[in-house]
């Protein structure tokens, strides 16, 4: 975890607020380093929302700020990402900040209205192959790699 040049209490408070604002507004602009940290935590909160249990709701309530944010996590975002396996957020680099030349980036949820870039379709998984028994495998490998012949054996013929 990046320390972001802050004491632990300040860093955790800042990240909790940023995750809450991301859930509430669905897109925020921040520095690239902070966005990378927020991305991991926001994905974990969406996973808790998809789980939907009372224990998950209490865990999320211990981290994010606001009842409206918790309600949105467990209703709207859980429904939107019910079939998605992961990768709920996207990081888009935008500009260099004038004051301190920090790299800025948008972090946003994917598959929503007014998103900056459309999400890529999931890559299809290759079909599962059944394991071969050792005898068939050894016969197949001899087809492709014949045994080496000895040079002395060729000289005699």
- Tell me, what's the pLDDT at 146? 60
Question: For residue 143, is pLDDT > 70?
Answer: no
Give me 8's structure tokens. Answer: 């632990």
How far apart CA 41 and CA 25 sit, in angstroms, is 16
Judge whether 19 lies within some domain: yes
Judge whether 122 lies within some domain: no
- Tell me, what's the pLDDT at 94? 93
Judge whether 130 lies within some domain: no
For residue range 31-44, what is the model confidence (pLDDT) as tens digits? Answer: 999 999 999 999 99
Q: Against a cut of 0.85, is the pTM above it? A: no
Judge whether 123 lies within some domain: no
Judge whether 3 lies within some domain: no
HSE-CB for 4 with a 13 A CA cutoff: 21
Helix (H) or strand (E) segment spanning residue 53: none
- Tell me, what's the pLDDT at 40? 93
- Tell me, what's the pLDDT at 147? 63
How far apart CA 34 and CA 5 sit, in angstroms, is 11
| Domain harbouring 28, CATH code | 3.90.1030.10
For residue range 104-136, what is the model confidence (pLDDT) as tens digits? Answer: 999 999 887 777 777 777 778 888 887 778 777
Res. 154 pLDDT band, cuts 50 70 90: low
Q: Do the Cβ atoms of 109 and 88 come closer than 8 Å?
A: yes
């Amino acid at each position: 975890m990046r320390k972001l040049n802050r004491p632990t209490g300040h860093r955790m408070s800042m990240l909790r607020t940023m995750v809450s604002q991301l859930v509430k507004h669905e897109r925020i602009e921040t520095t690239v380093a902070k966005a990378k940290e927020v991305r991991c935590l926001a994905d974990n909160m969406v996973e808790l929302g998809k789980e939907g249990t009372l224990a998950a709701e209490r865990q999320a309530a211990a981290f994010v700020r606001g009842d409206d944010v918790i309600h949105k996590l467990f209703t709207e975002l859980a429904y939107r990402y019910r079939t998605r396996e992961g990768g709920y957020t996207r990081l888009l680099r935008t500009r260099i900040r004038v004051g301190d030349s920090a790299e800025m980036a948008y972090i946003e949820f994917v598959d929503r209205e007014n998103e900056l870039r459309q999400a890529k379709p999931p890559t299809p998984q290759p079909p599962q192959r059944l394991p071969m028994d050792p005898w068939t495998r050894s016969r197949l490998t001899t087809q492709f790699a014949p045994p080496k012949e000895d040079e002395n054996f060729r000289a005699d013929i």
